[in-house]
A and B are shown apart, each in its own frame.
Chain A
Amino acid sequence: MSAKVKTMERKGASLAEKIYFIEIFRGMATTFGHFWRNLLDNSKLYVRHYPEVEPEIPVRWRGRHRLTAHEDGTVKCVACFMCQTNCPAGCISIEAGERQDDRAEKMPVKFKIDLLECIYCGYCVEACPLDAIRMDTGIYSVTDYNRESFVLGIDDLLRTPGAFSEEEYKKGGA
């Protein structure tokens, strides 16, 4: 198999470039060009006005987790512990119990994710046999004032809706 070779032109070899001062002035011209343009009209800035302007999150972005529910609102998770087993950071801890609704036998009584330990690798989503855990909330910024609030419980995880429609999510490769 032959490697794909792209020959790059080596810059800085011509006489004008070797003189050096010409290049300095050309560089300064670019810098001052930006300076005057931004000074006169700062809507033309080449940066995103975050947090006023938020980035567009693609469907496959691994955002903060959520637990999905059936249409009747019961949790899809059956507490099989696949996500906890697969988690390389060990940030998931589940406590299983007897299921109260008619679906299956088992459900999580507690489901905790420590977001400070999570490395957002998405292995939990990959491991889930029931599509019960997803990272499609579109939440990319997880901030708070104390450590305790970074440990999400089952209610927090169930409360957050997905940021995308089912079709979009499926198309994203899930």
Chain B
Amino acid sequence: MAEMIKLFVNGSEVEVEAGKNLIDAIGAIGIEIPHLCYHPALGADGNCRMCLVGLEEGGPPLVPACKTQAAPGMKVLLNAEHIKKIQHDVLEFQLINHPIDCPVCDQAGECSLQDYYMEYDGQKSRMSEAPVSKSKKLDFGCGVIHDQERCVLCGRCVRFCRQITKTGELGIVNRTDDARVTIFPGRPLDNRYAVNVVDLCPVGAMTSADFRFKQRVWFLKKARGICHGCSKGCNITIDHNREKDQDDLIYRFRPLLNEEINGYFICDEGRLSYKQENENRLTEARRGKTAISLDDAVTTALKEMAKAEKIVLLISPDSSLEQMAAVKSLAEATGAFLSGFSDGYIKKGDGDDYLIQDDKAANRAGLALLAIDSSRENFATALEDAQMLINFNSNLSLSYDSAELEKLIKDKYIIAVTSHDSDFCKMANLAIPAASFTEYRGMIISCDNILQSFDKAIDKNSPPVEISEIAALLGGSLKNSEDQYNALKEVIVSTESFNPDTIPTAGLKLN
């Protein structure tokens, strides 16, 4: 717990954290100081002048809150008439050349300028001159579209590219009302975190080409989730919506603050991984090419399992701990060989020293924790003797090319319990649809050994069954989540006592 200090806001005493600037310190207790250019990840810049606050006694009468450290006994004025006038006037300046095209702007609904106008300004423009016209719909590359007219020149995007990605593609050129954010000629945005500038932009100047015009943001429902794109375990907000007469679909992933893991940002690849949750899903169980019901599929699977002498189970390294425990119990109950083989998930050299990891599996640490063998040799030898392979959502096409894969599974009965209608699923004798990571509640362990839990975010019209449930139907002994937690309690060693319901949102660092 950080050190607390006492200061006064509008005459009443409040207790805030020491060592922060006024925006963060006072913001943490629910009193908002309007600001456009300041962002906790990028530091104070002090160019927008929106956060000017008054100080009674000691120091200058007006200070930018972003650049002022909270100090004990400070008397901060937020609601005085002259402060309100400053906020009002600064906004009026900002809006002189703003096109006010909120109806067609994707930011509308989550726009700082819009919110502040309603809160602090609220008057009609007094300008009789036409606004300065600048370029619209500029393609900055990496799926970022820039509208110079909407820009308030806060420089967050410029600072992001300089400080965070250290690529420096963006800059502000010219002065006064001709100033604009732009790229160098012929050198578009070229980094793997570029779309974060869309989230950073307090107005609608930076918009995402992928999300452009897809939804108005007030229709979207927000849910917390964990990105399964790599082993980092970045926290995300899943924005989803069920359109009229349609299924619950995800429209975008946005980063969610987690100081311990991803900070304020996520990579572009993870951000776009939402598409896989919507597309190419297996929705019906299949025997060969005929669609069957889930009950029939389970009955068929049980019959075939009884016939087979040796069975190999393969579990995806993306599965939650609960699912791994459930499949492990199935392996123990049937005497099958369980493998977590997934060498193909590792892309050597793809990672960087920031967020992106080489290992594209979300829960490889979970495999190790549950002592599930994942060597290539053991999997190949076990499969050679076996008559049956049950694949729980592991993407074998990443590890083998199609010819190798065909040879590998030749003459074997293949059951694919899978969320997606993959190539492997098409080769399988029996395919059973399973829930994907936004559709179940679970726990995963990141590459930094941080245990995180996440809830079910998406509620499909016909909800697919979770892998752990299917494992239980096929004969696993862990029938419900309580059984799974009890099994997990034995293997999870942590500094605090492990309880699945009390995992902090920031995650639990395991020993």
Contact = CB atoms under 8 A, between A and B. Distances in A.
Partners in one complex: yes
A27 interface: no
A104 B101 contact: yes
Interface in A74-108: 78-82, 85, 90, 93, 96-98, 104-106
Contacts, number: 33
B455 to A, nearest CB: 27
Given A85-B218, A105-B137, A97 B104 contact: no
B243 A104 contact: no
Contacts of A80: 102-104, 216
Contacts of A98: 212-213
B243 A93 contact: yes
B244 interface: yes
- Best-surrounded residue of B136, B212, B213, B214 (most CB of chain A within 10 A): B213
Interface string A35-61: 000000000000000000000000000
Contact of A79 (B102, B104, B243, B245): B104
Contacts of B218: 85
Given A90-B244, A93-B243, A105-B137, A81 B216 contact: yes
Given A93-B244, A105-B136, A79 B213 contact: yes
A152 to B, nearest CB: 14
A106 B102 CA distance: 11
A130 B103 contact: yes
Contacts of B102: 80
A90 B219 CA distance: 12
A33 interface: no
A78 B103 contact: yes
Interface in B184-227: 212-214, 216, 218-219
Contacts of B244: 90, 93
A134 B491 CA distance: 65
Interface in B341-383: none
B103 A96 contact: no
Contacts of B219: 81, 85
Among B212, B216, B243, chain A packs the most CB atoms within 10 A around the CB of B216
Contacts of A129: 103
Contacts of A93: 243-245
Contacts of A90: 244
A109 to B, nearest CB: 9
Contacts of A81: 216, 219
Nearest to A77: B103
A81 B106 CA distance: 11
Contacts of B243: 93
A115 to B, nearest CB: 14
A71 B104 CA distance: 21
B104 A106 contact: yes
Nearest to B246: A93
Nearest to A104: B104
B104 A105 contact: yes
Interface residues of A, number: 16
B506 to A, nearest CB: 35
Interface string B112-129: 000000000000000000
A106 B213 contact: yes
A106 B214 CA distance: 11
B217 to A, nearest CB: 10
Contacts of B103: 78, 80, 82, 129-130
Nearest to A82: B103
Contacts of B136: 105
A93 B214 CA distance: 13
A98 B106 CA distance: 12
A85 B245 CA distance: 16
Contacts of B213: 79, 96-98, 106
Interface in B62-116: 101-104
Interface string B326-349: 000000000000000000000000
B258 to A, nearest CB: 32
Nearest to A96: B213
Given A93-B244, A105-B136, A78 B216 contact: no
Contacts of A130: 103
B98 to A, nearest CB: 15
B137 A85 contact: no
Given A90-B244, A105-B136, A85 B216 contact: yes
Nearest to A106: B104
A166 B102 CA distance: 27
Interface string B234-253: 00000000011100000000
A78 B213 CA distance: 11
A82 B136 CA distance: 23
Contacts of A106: 104, 213
Give the one of A80, A82, A85 with max B CB within 10 A.
Answer: A80
A129 B104 CA distance: 11
A129 B101 CA distance: 11
A80 to B, nearest CB: 3
Nearest to B108: A80
A104 B103 CA distance: 10
B257 to A, nearest CB: 28
A90 B101 CA distance: 25
A129 B136 CA distance: 22
A113 to B, nearest CB: 11
A172 to B, nearest CB: 24
20 contacts: A79-B104, A79-B213, A80-B102, A80-B103, A80-B104, A80-B216, A81-B216, A81-B219, A85-B218, A90-B244, A93-B243, A93-B244, A93-B245, A104-B101, A104-B104, A105-B101, A105-B104, A105-B136, A106-B213, A130-B103
Given A80-B103, A85-B219, 14 more contacts: A78-B103, A79-B213, A80-B216, A81-B219, A82-B103, A85-B216, A93-B244, A96-B213, A96-B214, A97-B213, A104-B101, A105-B101, A105-B104, A129-B103
Closest 5 CB pairs of A and B: A80-B103, A96-B213, A106-B104, A81-B216, A93-B244
